[in-house]
Structure 1
Amino acid sequence: MTERLPPWLTRRVPKAEVLEEMKDMLEGLGLHTVCESAHCPNIGECFAKKTATFMILGDRCTRNCRFCAVTSEKPLPVDKDEPIRVARAVENLRLKHVVITSVTRDDLEDGGAFIFASTISEIKKINPPPTIEVLIPDFQGSIQALGKVIDAHPEIIAHNVETVPRLYPQVRPQADYRRSLNIIKMVKDKQPDIYTKSGLMVGLGETKEEVLGLMDDLRGSGCDIITIGQYLRPSSKHLEVKEFIKPEVFEYYKNEALKKGFKHAASSPFVRSSYNSEEFFLTLTKRQ
Protein backbone atom coordinates (compact mmCIF):
# COMPACT_ATOMS: atom_id res chain seq x y z
CA MET A 1 0.00 0.00 0.00
CA THR A 2 1.08 3.62 -0.43
CA GLU A 3 2.26 5.28 2.78
CA ARG A 4 1.21 8.82 2.04
CA LEU A 5 0.23 10.20 5.42
CA PRO A 6 -3.41 11.15 6.07
CA PRO A 7 -4.16 14.68 7.32
CA TRP A 8 -4.24 13.69 11.01
CA LEU A 9 -0.64 12.44 10.80
CA THR A 10 1.03 15.56 9.44
CA ARG A 11 3.27 17.65 11.70
CA ARG A 12 5.33 20.78 11.33
CA VAL A 13 9.05 20.30 10.88
CA PRO A 14 10.73 21.34 14.16
CA LYS A 15 13.00 24.38 14.17
CA ALA A 16 16.65 23.44 13.76
CA GLU A 17 17.77 25.55 16.72
CA VAL A 18 15.33 23.72 19.03
CA LEU A 19 16.87 20.39 18.09
CA GLU A 20 20.47 21.58 18.10
CA GLU A 21 20.42 23.01 21.63
CA MET A 22 19.27 19.72 23.13
CA LYS A 23 21.51 17.65 20.87
CA ASP A 24 24.56 19.67 21.89
CA MET A 25 23.84 19.18 25.58
CA LEU A 26 23.26 15.43 25.18
CA GLU A 27 26.31 14.95 22.99
CA GLY A 28 28.41 16.90 25.46
CA LEU A 29 27.50 14.36 28.13
CA GLY A 30 27.88 11.40 25.77
CA LEU A 31 24.23 10.41 26.08
CA HIS A 32 21.71 8.86 23.69
CA THR A 33 17.95 9.36 23.44
CA VAL A 34 15.32 7.09 21.98
CA CYS A 35 13.84 10.28 20.51
CA GLU A 36 16.73 10.42 18.03
CA SER A 37 17.61 6.74 17.67
CA ALA A 38 14.03 5.61 17.02
CA HIS A 39 13.14 8.57 14.73
CA CYS A 40 10.29 9.61 17.03
CA PRO A 41 7.80 11.98 15.34
CA ASN A 42 7.41 13.93 18.60
CA ILE A 43 11.07 14.91 18.92
CA GLY A 44 10.53 18.58 18.05
CA GLU A 45 7.73 19.01 20.57
CA CYS A 46 9.61 17.22 23.35
CA PHE A 47 12.97 18.86 22.75
CA ALA A 48 11.26 22.25 22.69
CA LYS A 49 9.92 21.49 26.19
CA LYS A 50 13.44 20.42 27.26
CA THR A 51 12.42 16.81 27.79
CA ALA A 52 13.82 13.60 26.34
CA THR A 53 13.72 9.85 26.91
CA PHE A 54 17.24 8.77 27.81
CA MET A 55 18.46 5.57 26.18
CA ILE A 56 21.10 3.85 28.27
CA LEU A 57 23.45 0.92 27.56
CA GLY A 58 24.57 2.41 24.26
CA ASP A 59 22.79 2.82 20.94
CA ARG A 60 23.35 -0.65 19.46
CA CYS A 61 20.74 -3.34 19.99
CA THR A 62 21.30 -7.10 20.01
CA ARG A 63 17.85 -7.67 18.52
CA ASN A 64 16.46 -6.79 15.14
CA CYS A 65 12.77 -5.97 15.52
CA ARG A 66 11.34 -5.15 12.11
CA PHE A 67 9.51 -2.01 13.26
CA CYS A 68 12.40 -0.33 15.07
CA ALA A 69 14.92 2.19 13.73
CA VAL A 70 17.51 1.60 16.48
CA THR A 71 20.76 0.19 15.05
CA SER A 72 21.14 -3.58 15.36
CA GLU A 73 24.78 -4.64 15.64
CA LYS A 74 27.39 -5.79 18.16
CA PRO A 75 27.20 -3.43 21.16
CA LEU A 76 30.10 -1.56 22.69
CA PRO A 77 31.27 -2.34 26.24
CA VAL A 78 29.06 -1.09 29.08
CA ASP A 79 29.88 2.44 30.25
CA LYS A 80 29.60 2.29 34.05
CA ASP A 81 29.79 6.09 34.37
CA GLU A 82 26.70 6.56 32.20
CA PRO A 83 24.27 6.68 35.17
CA ILE A 84 26.12 9.69 36.63
CA ARG A 85 25.94 11.56 33.33
CA VAL A 86 22.22 10.81 32.95
CA ALA A 87 21.62 12.24 36.43
CA ARG A 88 23.63 15.32 35.47
CA ALA A 89 21.45 15.84 32.38
CA VAL A 90 18.29 15.41 34.46
CA GLU A 91 19.55 18.05 36.86
CA ASN A 92 20.57 20.41 34.04
CA LEU A 93 17.13 20.12 32.47
CA ARG A 94 15.39 20.41 35.86
CA LEU A 95 13.15 17.50 35.00
CA LYS A 96 10.38 16.63 37.42
CA HIS A 97 9.66 13.30 35.71
CA VAL A 98 12.35 11.23 34.01
CA VAL A 99 11.91 8.44 31.47
CA ILE A 100 14.76 5.99 30.88
CA THR A 101 14.84 3.18 28.36
CA SER A 102 17.57 1.10 26.74
CA VAL A 103 18.54 -1.01 23.83
CA THR A 104 18.21 -4.77 24.42
CA ARG A 105 21.50 -6.23 25.63
CA ASP A 106 21.18 -10.01 25.32
CA ASP A 107 24.99 -10.10 25.40
CA LEU A 108 25.03 -9.17 29.10
CA GLU A 109 24.39 -11.68 31.88
CA ASP A 110 21.65 -9.56 33.45
CA GLY A 111 20.65 -7.71 30.29
CA GLY A 112 22.00 -4.47 31.72
CA ALA A 113 19.63 -4.43 34.72
CA PHE A 114 22.45 -3.25 36.98
CA ILE A 115 22.88 -0.10 34.88
CA PHE A 116 19.14 0.59 35.13
CA ALA A 117 19.37 0.22 38.93
CA SER A 118 22.45 2.43 39.12
CA THR A 119 20.84 5.12 36.96
CA ILE A 120 17.74 5.16 39.16
CA SER A 121 19.94 5.42 42.25
CA GLU A 122 21.93 8.36 40.85
CA ILE A 123 18.79 10.26 39.86
CA LYS A 124 17.33 9.78 43.33
CA LYS A 125 20.30 11.72 44.75
CA ILE A 126 18.95 14.89 43.11
CA ASN A 127 17.25 17.25 45.57
CA PRO A 128 14.31 17.25 45.19
CA PRO A 129 14.29 13.94 43.32
CA PRO A 130 12.11 13.65 40.21
CA THR A 131 9.71 10.77 39.68
CA ILE A 132 11.27 8.02 37.59
CA GLU A 133 9.81 5.84 34.83
CA VAL A 134 11.81 3.06 33.22
CA LEU A 135 10.92 1.32 29.98
CA ILE A 136 12.77 -1.98 30.19
CA PRO A 137 13.57 -4.87 27.82
CA ASP A 138 12.48 -8.39 28.78
CA PHE A 139 15.87 -9.41 30.27
CA GLN A 140 15.15 -12.77 28.59
CA GLY A 141 12.65 -13.43 31.37
CA SER A 142 15.26 -13.36 34.17
CA ILE A 143 13.61 -12.88 37.57
CA GLN A 144 16.98 -11.99 39.10
CA ALA A 145 17.66 -9.25 36.53
CA LEU A 146 14.18 -7.79 36.83
CA GLY A 147 14.51 -7.84 40.61
CA LYS A 148 17.43 -5.39 40.42
CA VAL A 149 15.20 -2.83 38.71
CA ILE A 150 12.25 -3.46 41.04
CA ASP A 151 14.47 -3.10 44.12
CA ALA A 152 15.67 0.30 42.86
CA HIS A 153 11.99 1.31 43.13
CA PRO A 154 11.16 3.68 40.27
CA GLU A 155 7.60 5.00 40.28
CA ILE A 156 6.73 3.31 36.97
CA ILE A 157 8.10 0.19 35.30
CA ALA A 158 7.04 -0.15 31.68
CA HIS A 159 7.56 -2.99 29.25
CA ASN A 160 5.94 -2.82 25.82
CA VAL A 161 4.20 -5.77 24.23
CA GLU A 162 4.29 -3.72 20.98
CA THR A 163 1.76 -5.78 18.98
CA VAL A 164 -0.77 -8.60 19.17
CA PRO A 165 0.56 -12.16 19.63
CA ARG A 166 -0.33 -13.31 16.10
CA LEU A 167 2.07 -10.75 14.60
CA TYR A 168 5.08 -11.50 16.82
CA PRO A 169 6.87 -13.71 14.24
CA GLN A 170 6.82 -10.81 11.74
CA VAL A 171 7.22 -7.87 14.11
CA ARG A 172 9.26 -9.15 17.08
CA PRO A 173 10.82 -12.46 16.03
CA GLN A 174 13.26 -12.58 18.96
CA ALA A 175 10.64 -11.73 21.58
CA ASP A 176 7.92 -13.78 23.26
CA TYR A 177 4.44 -12.45 23.99
CA ARG A 178 3.89 -14.52 27.15
CA ARG A 179 7.32 -13.60 28.45
CA SER A 180 6.50 -9.92 28.00
CA LEU A 181 3.22 -10.33 29.88
CA ASN A 182 5.08 -12.12 32.64
CA ILE A 183 7.45 -9.16 33.07
CA ILE A 184 4.44 -6.99 33.96
CA LYS A 185 3.07 -9.68 36.29
CA MET A 186 6.37 -10.17 38.12
CA VAL A 187 6.67 -6.44 38.81
CA LYS A 188 3.16 -6.19 40.19
CA ASP A 189 3.47 -9.37 42.23
CA LYS A 190 6.76 -8.30 43.85
CA GLN A 191 6.04 -4.59 44.33
CA PRO A 192 2.32 -3.72 43.99
CA ASP A 193 2.87 -0.01 44.65
CA ILE A 194 4.97 0.41 41.49
CA TYR A 195 2.79 1.41 38.55
CA THR A 196 3.06 -0.96 35.59
CA LYS A 197 2.74 0.20 32.01
CA SER A 198 2.76 -1.27 28.51
CA GLY A 199 2.31 0.00 24.99
CA LEU A 200 1.45 -1.20 21.52
CA MET A 201 1.46 0.04 17.96
CA VAL A 202 -1.52 -0.32 15.68
CA GLY A 203 -1.66 -0.31 11.90
CA LEU A 204 0.40 -3.48 11.46
CA GLY A 205 -2.53 -5.64 10.40
CA GLU A 206 -4.10 -6.41 13.76
CA THR A 207 -7.89 -6.56 14.23
CA LYS A 208 -9.96 -4.70 16.80
CA GLU A 209 -10.78 -8.00 18.48
CA GLU A 210 -7.08 -8.78 18.82
CA VAL A 211 -6.38 -5.38 20.38
CA LEU A 212 -9.20 -5.87 22.89
CA GLY A 213 -7.89 -9.35 23.68
CA LEU A 214 -4.41 -7.91 24.25
CA MET A 215 -5.93 -5.41 26.68
CA ASP A 216 -7.51 -8.29 28.62
CA ASP A 217 -4.16 -10.09 28.74
CA LEU A 218 -2.41 -6.99 30.07
CA ARG A 219 -5.05 -6.34 32.72
CA GLY A 220 -4.85 -10.00 33.72
CA SER A 221 -1.12 -9.53 34.23
CA GLY A 222 -1.59 -6.49 36.46
CA CYS A 223 -0.89 -3.71 33.96
CA ASP A 224 -2.05 -0.29 35.22
CA ILE A 225 -1.35 1.99 32.23
CA ILE A 226 -1.66 1.39 28.49
CA THR A 227 -0.45 3.47 25.55
CA ILE A 228 -1.60 2.98 21.95
CA GLY A 229 -0.14 4.77 18.95
CA GLN A 230 0.10 4.54 15.17
CA TYR A 231 2.98 2.53 13.72
CA LEU A 232 4.97 4.68 11.29
CA ARG A 233 7.56 3.08 9.03
CA PRO A 234 11.07 4.38 9.83
CA SER A 235 12.47 3.42 6.41
CA SER A 236 11.82 1.26 3.35
CA LYS A 237 13.72 -1.57 5.07
CA HIS A 238 11.13 -1.82 7.84
CA LEU A 239 7.66 -3.33 7.95
CA GLU A 240 5.05 -1.60 5.82
CA VAL A 241 2.13 0.21 7.41
CA LYS A 242 -0.95 -1.90 6.75
CA GLU A 243 -3.46 0.72 7.83
CA PHE A 244 -3.58 4.28 9.12
CA ILE A 245 -5.94 4.06 12.07
CA LYS A 246 -8.47 6.88 12.31
CA PRO A 247 -8.58 9.12 15.41
CA GLU A 248 -12.05 7.90 16.33
CA VAL A 249 -10.76 4.33 16.56
CA PHE A 250 -8.02 5.47 18.94
CA GLU A 251 -10.72 7.11 21.06
CA TYR A 252 -12.67 3.85 21.01
CA TYR A 253 -9.60 1.94 22.22
CA LYS A 254 -9.08 4.47 25.02
CA ASN A 255 -12.65 4.15 26.24
CA GLU A 256 -12.52 0.35 26.09
CA ALA A 257 -9.24 0.30 28.03
CA LEU A 258 -10.74 2.41 30.81
CA LYS A 259 -13.80 0.15 30.92
CA LYS A 260 -11.49 -2.82 31.35
CA GLY A 261 -9.96 -1.27 34.44
CA PHE A 262 -6.73 0.42 33.32
CA LYS A 263 -5.90 3.29 35.67
CA HIS A 264 -4.85 5.42 32.71
CA ALA A 265 -5.02 5.03 28.93
CA ALA A 266 -3.31 7.20 26.31
CA SER A 267 -4.49 6.42 22.80
CA SER A 268 -4.01 8.61 19.74
CA PRO A 269 -1.97 8.52 16.51
CA PHE A 270 1.15 10.23 17.93
CA VAL A 271 1.15 8.54 21.32
CA ARG A 272 4.39 6.77 22.16
CA SER A 273 5.24 5.00 25.40
CA SER A 274 7.01 8.01 26.91
CA TYR A 275 5.08 10.81 25.16
CA ASN A 276 3.81 13.40 27.67
CA SER A 277 4.63 10.95 30.47
CA GLU A 278 4.91 13.66 33.11
CA GLU A 279 1.44 15.03 32.36
CA PHE A 280 -0.05 11.53 32.29
CA PHE A 281 1.62 10.60 35.58
CA LEU A 282 0.36 13.75 37.30
CA THR A 283 -3.16 13.07 36.03
CA LEU A 284 -2.95 9.49 37.27
CA THR A 285 -1.66 10.33 40.73
CA LYS A 286 -4.22 13.10 41.24
CA ARG A 287 -6.98 10.68 40.22
CA GLN A 288 -5.65 8.02 42.60
Structure 2
Amino acid sequence: MSEADPIAAPRMRKPDWIRVKAPVSAGYAETRKLMRRLNLATVCEEAACPNIGECWTKKHATVMILGDTCTRACAFCNVKTGMPRAVDPLEPEHVAVAAAELGLTHIVVTSVDRDDLSDGGAGQFVKVIEALRRNTPATTIEILTPDFRNKAQAAVERIIEARPDVYNHNLETVPRLYPTIRPGARYYASLRLLESVKRHDPSIFTKSGIMVGLGEQRLEVHQVMDDMRSADVDFLTMGQYLQPTPRHATVEEFVTPDAFRAYAAIARAKGFLLV
Protein backbone atom coordinates (compact mmCIF):
# COMPACT_ATOMS: atom_id res chain seq x y z
CA MET A 1 0.00 0.00 0.00
CA SER A 2 1.12 3.54 -0.64
CA GLU A 3 1.56 6.12 2.12
CA ALA A 4 -1.40 7.98 0.67
CA ASP A 5 -3.70 5.01 1.12
CA PRO A 6 -6.05 5.94 4.03
CA ILE A 7 -6.52 2.32 5.02
CA ALA A 8 -2.77 1.94 5.57
CA ALA A 9 -2.66 4.82 8.07
CA PRO A 10 -2.26 4.10 11.81
CA ARG A 11 -5.46 3.93 13.83
CA MET A 12 -6.30 6.93 16.01
CA ARG A 13 -6.58 6.39 19.75
CA LYS A 14 -10.16 6.67 20.99
CA PRO A 15 -10.83 9.59 23.32
CA ASP A 16 -12.15 8.95 26.81
CA TRP A 17 -15.69 10.07 26.01
CA ILE A 18 -16.37 7.19 23.62
CA ARG A 19 -14.74 4.33 25.47
CA VAL A 20 -17.13 1.64 26.61
CA LYS A 21 -16.99 -1.26 29.04
CA ALA A 22 -16.76 -4.84 27.83
CA PRO A 23 -20.14 -6.65 27.84
CA VAL A 24 -20.37 -8.85 30.94
CA SER A 25 -23.90 -8.44 32.36
CA ALA A 26 -26.57 -11.11 32.76
CA GLY A 27 -28.85 -9.15 30.41
CA TYR A 28 -26.18 -9.26 27.72
CA ALA A 29 -25.74 -13.02 28.15
CA GLU A 30 -29.50 -13.66 28.02
CA THR A 31 -29.94 -11.63 24.83
CA ARG A 32 -27.01 -13.36 23.16
CA LYS A 33 -28.35 -16.80 24.12
CA LEU A 34 -31.80 -15.96 22.76
CA MET A 35 -30.44 -14.77 19.41
CA ARG A 36 -28.37 -17.95 19.08
CA ARG A 37 -31.34 -20.18 19.90
CA LEU A 38 -33.50 -18.50 17.26
CA ASN A 39 -30.69 -18.42 14.69
CA LEU A 40 -30.99 -14.65 14.36
CA ALA A 41 -28.24 -12.24 13.39
CA THR A 42 -27.98 -8.79 14.92
CA VAL A 43 -26.30 -5.74 13.48
CA CYS A 44 -24.95 -5.22 16.99
CA GLU A 45 -22.66 -8.24 16.58
CA GLU A 46 -22.11 -8.37 12.83
CA ALA A 47 -21.13 -4.69 12.58
CA ALA A 48 -19.03 -4.90 15.78
CA CYS A 49 -20.97 -2.09 17.46
CA PRO A 50 -19.10 -0.77 20.53
CA ASN A 51 -22.38 -0.13 22.37
CA ILE A 52 -23.49 -3.77 22.30
CA GLY A 53 -22.90 -4.26 26.02
CA GLU A 54 -25.04 -1.31 27.05
CA CYS A 55 -27.88 -2.11 24.64
CA TRP A 56 -28.02 -5.84 25.27
CA THR A 57 -27.94 -5.31 29.02
CA LYS A 58 -31.17 -3.34 28.52
CA LYS A 59 -32.45 -6.07 26.14
CA HIS A 60 -32.37 -3.71 23.18
CA ALA A 61 -31.26 -5.24 19.90
CA THR A 62 -31.43 -4.43 16.20
CA VAL A 63 -32.31 -7.65 14.43
CA MET A 64 -30.65 -8.20 11.05
CA ILE A 65 -32.72 -10.32 8.69
CA LEU A 66 -31.83 -12.04 5.41
CA GLY A 67 -28.72 -13.62 6.87
CA ASP A 68 -25.34 -12.32 7.94
CA THR A 69 -23.63 -12.01 4.55
CA CYS A 70 -23.87 -8.86 2.42
CA THR A 71 -23.53 -8.61 -1.35
CA ARG A 72 -21.65 -5.32 -1.05
CA ALA A 73 -18.47 -4.19 0.70
CA CYS A 74 -18.81 -0.66 2.08
CA ALA A 75 -15.59 0.80 3.48
CA PHE A 76 -17.12 1.53 6.90
CA CYS A 77 -18.99 -1.71 7.56
CA ASN A 78 -17.80 -4.85 9.34
CA VAL A 79 -20.56 -7.15 8.05
CA LYS A 80 -18.99 -9.90 5.94
CA THR A 81 -19.27 -9.86 2.16
CA GLY A 82 -19.94 -12.84 -0.08
CA MET A 83 -22.67 -14.99 -1.58
CA PRO A 84 -25.53 -15.13 0.94
CA ARG A 85 -27.40 -18.27 1.87
CA ALA A 86 -31.02 -18.90 0.90
CA VAL A 87 -33.64 -16.86 2.73
CA ASP A 88 -34.79 -18.57 5.94
CA PRO A 89 -38.59 -19.06 5.83
CA LEU A 90 -38.69 -19.36 9.65
CA GLU A 91 -36.95 -16.03 10.20
CA PRO A 92 -40.09 -13.83 10.44
CA GLU A 93 -41.59 -15.97 13.21
CA HIS A 94 -38.25 -16.14 15.01
CA VAL A 95 -38.04 -12.33 15.01
CA ALA A 96 -41.52 -12.16 16.52
CA VAL A 97 -40.58 -14.72 19.19
CA ALA A 98 -37.48 -12.68 20.08
CA ALA A 99 -39.54 -9.50 20.40
CA ALA A 100 -42.02 -11.27 22.67
CA GLU A 101 -39.41 -12.94 24.89
CA LEU A 102 -37.43 -9.72 25.28
CA GLY A 103 -40.63 -7.80 26.03
CA LEU A 104 -39.83 -5.18 23.42
CA THR A 105 -42.07 -2.16 23.10
CA HIS A 106 -40.09 -1.07 20.02
CA ILE A 107 -38.08 -3.20 17.61
CA VAL A 108 -35.65 -2.22 14.87
CA VAL A 109 -35.36 -4.61 11.94
CA THR A 110 -32.58 -4.13 9.40
CA SER A 111 -30.90 -6.32 6.78
CA VAL A 112 -27.82 -6.88 4.74
CA ASP A 113 -27.90 -5.84 1.08
CA ARG A 114 -29.33 -8.68 -0.99
CA ASP A 115 -28.67 -7.64 -4.58
CA ASP A 116 -28.97 -11.34 -5.47
CA LEU A 117 -32.72 -11.39 -4.77
CA SER A 118 -35.24 -10.24 -7.36
CA ASP A 119 -37.00 -8.01 -4.81
CA GLY A 120 -33.88 -7.07 -2.86
CA GLY A 121 -35.36 -8.77 0.20
CA ALA A 122 -38.45 -6.55 0.45
CA GLY A 123 -40.74 -9.56 0.74
CA GLN A 124 -38.94 -10.77 3.86
CA PHE A 125 -39.34 -7.35 5.48
CA VAL A 126 -43.08 -7.60 4.81
CA LYS A 127 -43.27 -11.09 6.35
CA VAL A 128 -41.39 -9.92 9.45
CA ILE A 129 -43.72 -6.95 9.91
CA GLU A 130 -46.76 -9.22 9.54
CA ALA A 131 -45.37 -11.74 12.05
CA LEU A 132 -44.70 -8.98 14.57
CA ARG A 133 -48.21 -7.57 14.15
CA ARG A 134 -49.69 -11.03 14.81
CA ASN A 135 -47.54 -11.92 17.80
CA THR A 136 -46.67 -8.60 19.46
CA PRO A 137 -49.32 -6.11 18.30
CA ALA A 138 -48.31 -3.49 20.89
CA THR A 139 -44.70 -3.37 19.65
CA THR A 140 -43.88 -0.45 17.38
CA ILE A 141 -41.85 -1.46 14.34
CA GLU A 142 -38.96 0.43 12.82
CA ILE A 143 -37.40 -0.94 9.67
CA LEU A 144 -33.96 0.09 8.47
CA THR A 145 -33.69 -0.96 4.84
CA PRO A 146 -30.94 -0.98 2.24
CA ASP A 147 -31.38 1.06 -0.93
CA PHE A 148 -32.83 -1.83 -3.00
CA ARG A 149 -30.61 -0.87 -5.91
CA ASN A 150 -32.47 -0.77 -9.25
CA LYS A 151 -35.68 -2.03 -7.62
CA ALA A 152 -36.41 0.60 -4.98
CA GLN A 153 -39.83 1.75 -6.16
CA ALA A 154 -41.49 -1.66 -6.11
CA ALA A 155 -39.69 -2.66 -2.90
CA VAL A 156 -40.69 0.47 -1.01
CA GLU A 157 -44.31 0.19 -2.15
CA ARG A 158 -44.54 -3.40 -0.85
CA ILE A 159 -43.07 -2.50 2.51
CA ILE A 160 -45.21 0.60 2.97
CA GLU A 161 -48.34 -1.49 2.40
CA ALA A 162 -47.29 -3.55 5.46
CA ARG A 163 -47.42 -0.35 7.56
CA PRO A 164 -44.23 -0.13 9.63
CA ASP A 165 -44.32 2.68 12.17
CA VAL A 166 -40.93 4.11 11.15
CA TYR A 167 -39.12 3.73 7.84
CA ASN A 168 -35.39 4.26 8.29
CA HIS A 169 -32.81 4.41 5.52
CA ASN A 170 -29.39 5.82 6.27
CA LEU A 171 -27.54 8.21 3.98
CA GLU A 172 -24.41 7.28 5.97
CA THR A 173 -22.12 10.11 4.82
CA VAL A 174 -21.89 13.26 2.70
CA PRO A 175 -22.12 12.98 -1.12
CA ARG A 176 -18.43 13.78 -1.69
CA LEU A 177 -17.34 10.69 0.25
CA TYR A 178 -19.66 8.19 -1.44
CA PRO A 179 -17.13 6.97 -4.05
CA THR A 180 -14.75 5.78 -1.32
CA ILE A 181 -17.03 5.11 1.66
CA ARG A 182 -20.21 3.79 0.04
CA PRO A 183 -19.23 2.96 -3.56
CA GLY A 184 -22.10 0.54 -4.20
CA ALA A 185 -24.76 3.17 -3.50
CA ARG A 186 -25.84 6.56 -4.82
CA TYR A 187 -26.59 9.48 -2.51
CA TYR A 188 -29.49 10.91 -4.49
CA ALA A 189 -31.03 7.47 -5.03
CA SER A 190 -31.17 7.09 -1.25
CA LEU A 191 -32.75 10.52 -0.92
CA ARG A 192 -35.38 9.60 -3.51
CA LEU A 193 -36.16 6.42 -1.58
CA LEU A 194 -36.84 8.41 1.59
CA GLU A 195 -38.92 10.92 -0.34
CA SER A 196 -40.97 8.14 -1.92
CA VAL A 197 -41.98 6.77 1.50
CA LYS A 198 -43.64 10.05 2.42
CA ARG A 199 -45.16 10.39 -1.02
CA HIS A 200 -46.86 7.00 -0.71
CA ASP A 201 -47.88 7.35 2.95
CA PRO A 202 -47.32 10.66 4.76
CA SER A 203 -48.38 9.09 8.08
CA ILE A 204 -45.27 6.87 8.29
CA PHE A 205 -42.38 8.50 10.13
CA THR A 206 -39.14 8.56 8.16
CA LYS A 207 -35.66 8.49 9.63
CA SER A 208 -32.10 8.68 8.37
CA GLY A 209 -28.63 8.80 9.83
CA ILE A 210 -25.08 9.75 9.02
CA MET A 211 -21.67 9.01 10.49
CA VAL A 212 -19.18 11.76 11.22
CA GLY A 213 -15.43 11.58 11.57
CA LEU A 214 -14.78 10.35 8.03
CA GLY A 215 -13.37 13.62 6.74
CA GLU A 216 -16.62 15.45 6.06
CA GLN A 217 -16.82 19.23 6.50
CA ARG A 218 -19.29 20.91 8.83
CA LEU A 219 -21.12 22.70 6.01
CA GLU A 220 -21.42 19.41 4.13
CA VAL A 221 -23.21 17.93 7.13
CA HIS A 222 -25.55 20.92 7.22
CA GLN A 223 -26.33 20.36 3.53
CA VAL A 224 -27.17 16.71 4.20
CA MET A 225 -29.59 17.90 6.88
CA ASP A 226 -31.19 20.26 4.36
CA ASP A 227 -31.46 17.47 1.79
CA MET A 228 -33.14 15.23 4.36
CA ARG A 229 -35.63 17.91 5.30
CA SER A 230 -36.36 18.53 1.61
CA ALA A 231 -37.27 14.83 1.45
CA ASP A 232 -39.48 15.37 4.54
CA VAL A 233 -37.38 13.15 6.81
CA ASP A 234 -38.69 13.35 10.38
CA PHE A 235 -35.92 11.86 12.54
CA LEU A 236 -32.14 12.26 12.31
CA THR A 237 -29.41 10.18 13.93
CA MET A 238 -25.73 11.09 13.97
CA GLY A 239 -22.89 8.99 15.29
CA GLN A 240 -19.13 8.86 15.47
CA TYR A 241 -17.58 6.54 12.89
CA LEU A 242 -15.31 3.96 14.50
CA GLN A 243 -12.94 1.89 12.37
CA PRO A 244 -13.90 -1.80 12.83
CA THR A 245 -10.58 -3.20 11.60
CA PRO A 246 -7.38 -1.85 10.00
CA ARG A 247 -8.83 -2.90 6.62
CA HIS A 248 -11.64 -0.38 6.86
CA ALA A 249 -11.71 3.37 6.24
CA THR A 250 -9.74 5.29 8.83
CA VAL A 251 -11.13 7.72 11.38
CA GLU A 252 -10.18 11.23 10.31
CA GLU A 253 -11.56 12.96 13.40
CA PHE A 254 -13.18 12.19 16.73
CA VAL A 255 -16.07 14.64 16.94
CA THR A 256 -16.42 16.15 20.41
CA PRO A 257 -19.62 16.03 22.49
CA ASP A 258 -19.87 19.82 22.15
CA ALA A 259 -19.76 19.52 18.35
CA PHE A 260 -22.50 16.89 18.45
CA ARG A 261 -24.62 19.18 20.61
CA ALA A 262 -24.11 21.97 18.09
CA TYR A 263 -25.16 19.68 15.23
CA ALA A 264 -28.25 18.64 17.21
CA ALA A 265 -29.28 22.25 17.82
CA ILE A 266 -28.93 23.06 14.13
CA ALA A 267 -30.91 19.96 13.16
CA ARG A 268 -33.77 20.87 15.49
CA ALA A 269 -33.81 24.38 14.07
CA LYS A 270 -34.15 22.88 10.59
CA GLY A 271 -37.31 21.09 11.67
CA PHE A 272 -36.38 17.51 12.57
CA LEU A 273 -38.85 16.10 15.09
CA LEU A 274 -36.24 13.94 16.84
CA VAL A 275 -32.45 14.18 16.81
Identical aligned pairs, as a percentage? 48
In the TM superposition, 1:196-275 aligns within 5 A as 196-265=206-275
**Partner of residue 116 from structure 2, selected from 81, 99, 107:** 107
1-side partners of 2:258 and 2:11: how far apart? Answer: 22
Give, in angstroms, the shift of residue 21 of structure 1: 2.1
In the TM superposition, 1:1-80 aligns within 5 A as 2-15=11-24, 17-80=26-89
1-side partners of 2:249 and 2:103: how far apart? Answer: 37
2-side partners of 1:117 and 1:167: how far apart? Answer: 32
In the alignment, structure 1 segments of 5+ residues that lack a partner are 266-288
C-alpha RMSD of the superposition? 1.1
Please tell me whether the aligned partners of residues 27 and 59 of structure 2 are also in contact (alpha carbons under 8 angstroms). no
In the TM superposition, 1:123-138 aligns within 5 A as 123-138=132-147
Give, in angstroms, the shift of residue 126 of structure 1: 2.3
- Cα deviation 1:98-125 (Å, max 9, x = unaligned): 1000000000011000000000000001
* Number of the residue aligned with 2:125: 116
User: Runs of 4 or more off by more than 6 Å in structure 1?
Assistant: none
Please tell me whether the aligned partners of residues 99 and 136 of structure 2 are also in contact (alpha carbons under 8 angstroms). no
- Cα deviation 1:190-209 (Å, max 9, x = unaligned): 00000000000000000000
Residue identity opposite 1:95 in structure 2: L
2-side partners of 1:121 and 1:206: how far apart? Answer: 39
Please tell me whether the aligned partners of residues 113 and 120 of structure 2 are also in contact (alpha carbons under 8 angstroms). yes
Pair 1:197–1:127, CA change in 2 (3 A): closer
1-side partners of 2:186 and 2:62: how far apart? Answer: 25
The number of residue pairs the alignment matches comes to 265
Matched, 1:194 2:175: no
- Cα deviation 1:204-246 (Å, max 9, x = unaligned): 0000000000100010011110000000000000000000011
Residue identity opposite 1:186 in structure 2: S
The alignment's TM-score, normalised by the length of structure 2, stands at 0.94
- SS of the equivalent of 1:201 reads strand
- SS of the equivalent of 2:146 reads coil
The alignment's TM-score, normalised by the length of structure 1, stands at 0.90
2-side partners of 1:192 and 1:224: how far apart? Answer: 11
1-side partners of 2:117 and 2:37: how far apart? Answer: 27
